[in-house]
Chain A
Amino acid sequence: MPHINLYYKDENPSPLTLVWRRFKERLLSMTALYILLAMILVVIFSPILAPYSTSMQFADAVSLPPSWTEQGNIQFLMGTDDLGRDMLSRLLIGSIYSLGLPILMVAVSSIIGMVIGAVLGIDRTIKYQTFSRVFDTLLSIPSFLMALIIIAILGTGLFNVALAITLSLIPQFIFVTRNAVHQEWHKDYVTASRLNGCSKPYLLYRVILPNITPILVMQLTVSLSVAIMDIAALSFLGLGIQSPTPEWGSMLARSLDEVYLSPWSMVLPGVTLFVTIMSINIVGDSLRRALSERVNS
C-alpha cells in the first residue's frame, strides 16, 4: 500500500540538506562532483588500476606518443615518457601524491583548525575586535609563502612538503570556523539555547555545528584546491616532491626538457591537474551559490 501523507507536514530539513538540494539542481555542479568522486576512486584504487609500475622502463618504447595517435601503441594508452615509462600508470599513481595527499593534508589541518577556531569562537576573554583584525591582516600572508618558509626550515621531500602545506592551511580553518561560530553565537536561537542552560560543547555540536556545516564544507573545497595547487607549484619549482615520484607538478617540470620531442608528457599532467582543480572549484562555487540562495530565500 502506498504511503499516503494525510496531514500537512512541513519537513524540516537540515541546512546541509537544503544546500544539497539546491546543489543537485545544477548539472554542472553534479558533473564536477562526479568527476571529483571518480578521481578519489582513482586515488584509492590506483595501484590496482595502473597497468605497470611507475618506475618500469621500457627501453624499446621511449617517448611513445599516446595510443590515439598514429605512432601510438595500445599497450601504452597515454604513451610513455623519455625514459620509456608508461604515462597512464604515472598519472594514476601520481594522483596519490597530487590529490590523495592534499585530501589527507586538508583533513588533518581542518580538524586542527576547526577545533581551535571553535574554541576561539566561543571564547570571550580576548578583546575580540582588535584580535580579529590583527588575525585578519596576518591571514592575508599567503599560505604558499608560509609553505615556502617551512620548507626552508625543514628542507624538501615528501613528508616535509606535506607537513608544510598542512601547517600553512590551518590558519584559514581557524579563521573561518571562528568567524562562523562567532556569528552564530550572537544569533537569537543560540542565545535562547544558552538561556535554556545548554552546556558549551552541547551548543557547539548540536546547535551551532549544523548551521555552519555548509560554510565549513565550502572552506574544505577551497583549501583542497589551494593544497593541490601549492603542492604542484612547489614540486614544479623543485622544492616539493622530487622526481622520479610521479607527482603531477614534478612530472610537468621534468617534461619541459622534451616539450618538442614528447609534447604529451607536458600536456597530460597539466590537463589532469587542471580538470581536478576545476572540478573542485566548481563544487566549491556551487556550494557557495546554493548557500547564498538558501540564506536569501
Chain B
Amino acid sequence: MTKAFSLLISATTILLSGCEPSTEEVTPLSEGIIYCSEGNPDTFNPQLVTSGTTVDATAAQLYDRLIDYDAEKQAFVPALAESWEPLDNGTRYRFYLREGVEFHSTDYFSPTREFNAEDVRFSFNRWLDETSLYHNVGGSYPFFSATGLDKLIQKVVKVDEMTVDIVLNNADSSFLANLATDFAIILSAEYAQLLSVKDMPYLIDQKPIGTGPYRFESFRKDVLIRYTKHPDYWREGPGIKQLVYSITPNANKRMLKLVTGECDIIPYPLISELQALNRDDIIVTNEVSPNVSFWAFNTKRPPFDDPLVRQALSHAINRQAIIDTIYYGNAELARSILPPTSWAYDNQGIQYDYNPEKARKLLEEAGHSELSINIWAMPVQRVYNPNARRMAELMQSDLAQVGVNARIVSYEWNTFRRRLSRGEHDTVLIGWYADNADPDNFFRPLLSCAAVATGGNRANWCHPGFDQLLYEAIATTNANERKALYQSAQHILNQQLPLLPIAHSRRYQAQKKSVRGVQLPPYGGINFRLATKVTTAEESEQ
C-alpha cells in the first residue's frame, strides 16, 4: 500500500516537473519543419491520384520530373532533363538527361547506380503501357487518362543511357505543360526490379524511392509522415534535416497548433481567425491561384438531366453571400469555370445571378415546384473551398426559399470520393485546382466524356460537341485558334450548366516567421525543396 502510494507521488512529481518550459533550444526542433497537412496521403506515388493532399505530401518532396515550370518566368526549366527538343513536327520530343543524379538510399533500398534513361522509360511505361509489369500495381492513373496523356504518347524510346525520346501520336500543345505537372514523376527502375524479385511490387507506392530533396522515413496513418533530407541531392536542397507532415484534418486545430508552435506551416488557414488573433510571429501569405469551386449536378440522375432545372437551381443560390461569409471576401465570384487570369477566359455568356423569383419560375416551367435533393459537401478544406459544409448550409436555406428541400451529405474524405465516383450523389460541392497553366487542364479532367469513366467528371456529363471542341483545341498550337475554341466551349458550358462555378479563391498559407524558403508554385502543391528554419536568435537580428 505504502509502496503504491510513493509510486503515485513520484509519478505526480514527474508530471508536474513536465510543466516547466524548456529554456534551451533543442537541436532536432531547430533542424526540422512541421507541416500540418489536412489529411492522409492515399499513396506515396502521385501518378496514381489527383488528390491535392497526396500531391502535396509526395510530388515535390520525394520526386523530380523531367522538366519544371517556372511561374515567374512563365517558362519550362530543366530538371532531370538538362535539355530537350521537339522533333518530327512536334510528334517526338528528345530529352537529354542529367548525369550524376542519385536516388534515395534508405534502410530498405540502396541504389547501385545513378539515374538514367531506364528510369524514365520505367516511370512512363508504368501508366502508359498496359502490358508493363507494374501497370496493374496500384490500379488507375486518373490524371493521365483524364488529360489523355496515355493516349497521346505512343511510346517512350531509350536512345542511349542518357537520352530518351517520347513519341507522340499527334502534336499536342499541352504536352510539355503536362510533363511539368506534379504527376509526371520519375521512379527508380532498379528499385522496382528489386521489389518484383522479392514479390512485393506494391511496396513501390508505400515505401517510395525517388530522386527528390527528401527521402521517406516513416508513415503512421492519421499521425504523421516523416521525411529526412536527401544528402546527395543533385541541386540545392533544403536547409533542414527533417520534414514532418503532422496530419491534422481539423482546420481549427491546425490554426491553434500554428499558434502554439506545434506546426511551422499550415495549409488552408482560417484567415479571419488568424487576423483576429493578430500574432506577429505568424505570417499569412496569399497568392493568385488557378482554381475554381463549383456545384456539380449529377446529370445522369433526374431531374438534373434537365438543363432547366440546373439553371433554376443556379439562380436560387446567392453566390455573393457565399463569398462574403465562407471566403470572408477573399475570393472572386466565378463567371466561368476558367479563372479570369487564364488567357482563354471568357465571360460573355448568360449570368446566373441570384434571383429566387426566376428560379421558382424556371422550376415550375420544368415541372418541379417541389423538389428534394441532396448536396454532398466535401469534408476537407481546399484552396478553392475553405468550408464546403458551411457553404452547403448557406445554400440549403437559399434553396428552401424557392421550395427546394436540400439535405446535406458528408462522409470521410476517401469514402466521399469513392462514393462520388460511383455517382451516388445528386449534387456536390467540390472544385478543381489547376495542375498546369494550360486551360485544357480545366476542361478535360473535369468535363470530358473520358473523365466520366475515371470518375473525375463529377457532373457525369458527356456532351459530344463539347468534347469535340476540346480535342480540336489541343490539336492545334495556334493560340488564337485555341482561344476561340475554348470560348465556344465555355458558351456550351454556360448554356448546359452541368456545374455552377462559384468562386475563384486566392491560395492562403500561414506559417511561422522562422520558416523560410517554402514555395507555393501556382500550378502545384507545396514545395519544401529550399525550406530552412532560422533560430529565434537569428530572427531577432534581422
Contacts and interface: CB of A to CB of B under 8 A. Distances in A.
Contact of B252 (A62, A243, A256): A256
Contacts of B251: 257
Contacts of A256: 250, 252
B273 A261 contact: yes
Given A57-B397, A242-B410, A243-B389, A260 B277 contact: yes
Given A59-B324, A82-B390, A243-B389, A258 B272 contact: yes
Interface in B375-412: 387, 389-390, 393-394, 396-397, 400, 408, 410
B321 interface: yes
B325 interface: yes
A267 interface: no
Contacts of B410: 242
Given A55-B397, A55-B400, A244-B396, A257 B273 contact: yes
Given A84-B325, A244-B408, A258 B393 contact: no
B321 A59 contact: yes
Nearest to A242: B408
Nearest to A257: B252
Per DSSP, chain A at the interface is loop
Nearest to B398: A57
B276 interface: yes
Contacts of B49: none
B89 to A, nearest CB: 54
A74 interface: no
A259 interface: yes
B276 A261 contact: yes
B270 interface: yes
Given A55-B400, A62-B325, A83-B325, A257 B387 contact: yes
B393 A244 contact: yes
B226 to A, nearest CB: 28
A116 B364 CA distance: 54
Interface residues of B, number: 22
Interface in B322-358: 324-325
A260 B400 contact: no
A83 B276 CA distance: 17
A153 to B, nearest CB: 16
A interface bracket (residues with beta carbon within 8 Å of B): 10 to 19
Interface string A80-91: 001110000000
Interface string A247-284: 00000001011111100000000000000000000000
A167 to B, nearest CB: 24
A111 B273 CA distance: 48
A257 B397 contact: no
Given A256-B252, A257-B251, A258-B270, A82 B325 contact: yes
Interface in A215-259: 242-244, 254, 256-259
A37 interface: no
A56 interface: yes
Interface in A62-82: 62, 82
A260 B276 contact: yes
Interface string A24-57: 0000000000000000000000000000000111
B325 A55 contact: no
Given A57-B394, A82-B390, A261 B325 contact: no
Contacts of B318: 59
A29 B271 CA distance: 46
Interface string B418-461: 00000000000000000000000000000000000000000000
B273 A260 contact: yes
Interface in B235-272: 250-252, 270, 272
Interface string B130-165: 000000000000000000000000000000000000
Contacts of B400: 55
B252 A259 contact: yes
Given A257-B252, A260-B277, A83 B270 contact: no
A176 B497 CA distance: 61
A44 B20 CA distance: 52
A83 B394 contact: yes
A55 B321 contact: no
A285 B272 CA distance: 44
Interface string B267-288: 0001011001100000000000
B273 A258 contact: yes
B343 to A, nearest CB: 35
Contact of A243 (B277, B325, B393): B393
Interface in B450-504: none
Given A257-B251, A259-B252, A83 B273 contact: no
Contact of B397 (A56, A62, A260): A56
Nearest to B277: A260
A259 B394 contact: no
A83 B396 CA distance: 12
A195 B284 CA distance: 83
A261 B277 CA distance: 9
A243 B393 CA distance: 8
A154 B393 CA distance: 24
Contacts of B396: 55, 244
Contacts of B394: 57, 83
Interface string A148-183: 000000000000000000000000000000000000
A259 B251 CA distance: 12
B277 A83 contact: no
B272 A261 contact: yes
A83 B387 CA distance: 12
Nearest to A155: B411
A57 B324 CA distance: 13
A71 to B, nearest CB: 14
Given A83-B394, A254-B389, 14 more contacts: A56-B397, A57-B321, A59-B321, A59-B325, A62-B324, A82-B325, A244-B408, A254-B390, A256-B252, A257-B252, A257-B270, A259-B252, A260-B273, A261-B276
14 contacts: A57-B397, A59-B318, A83-B390, A243-B389, A243-B393, A244-B393, A244-B408, A257-B251, A257-B387, A258-B273, A259-B252, A259-B273, A260-B276, A261-B276
Q: In the A-B complex, list the 6 residue pairs whose CB atoms are closest, starting with the nearest.
A: A260-B276, A244-B393, A256-B252, A55-B397, A257-B252, A260-B273
Interface of A: 55-57, 59, 62, 82-84, 242-244, 254, 256-261
